[in-house]
Structure 1
């Protein structure tokens, strides 16, 4: 993927941000999508359903998944999930948990318009309103590059 990078590189102590030209963002995104489905053996309709969620619903699904894993789902907390229960929670619980973890285990929401996805094929990718940025976080915990500097 080196040929996809432009010359805009910002360096932190142990991290670099590489901007990908907007013209090829769609191609990279499609490759990422298909690779994720293939490598993790996730049904495409489940992937697309999860991927289509807005930020609020994504956070709710995240909460749902990990509360379910911890056995902390109650009738009270289920009211919190009502807005998207028709679309998401009719999927078998264990299946959605497994699929969600496979897709979003490395997702960090940076802002309303971008998320950071850790992916072995495309390094770390931010999908944002201004295109895609690939961030190489080698030893990121030691980096002086703060999350605030990465937010669009």
Structure 2
């Protein structure tokens, strides 16, 4: 039996502001925006190519900005950084994570598995983006 992660709730203070950030700046697909009562709304978005979605939560048990460690993967972290910058997302430099302390990436360096960049949403929820453009073949 498969156990698949389907949804992660992202705590935010302003659903409209967060919706704009995730849909317009990050390019997440809006799955639905449903009003479920006079003061409750369910907004679900999915990153391109992902099987897992996020739901924007206002007034939830979690404090807005308290979610850390969310991670996306891309085939080209340099292109992903350029896209984020084009969409006015404040994003850090590409970092190489390995056995030593993180360090800046070299221009022509192979970043598969080790290349990361980091950004935050308007509430301070933090995201990592990791390059995975091929996976090792498992021995048989």
Q: TM-score, normalised by structure 2?
A: 0.26
Which structure is higher in helix share? 1
Larger RCO (CA within 8 A; separation ≥ 6)? 1
Structure with greater strand percent: 2
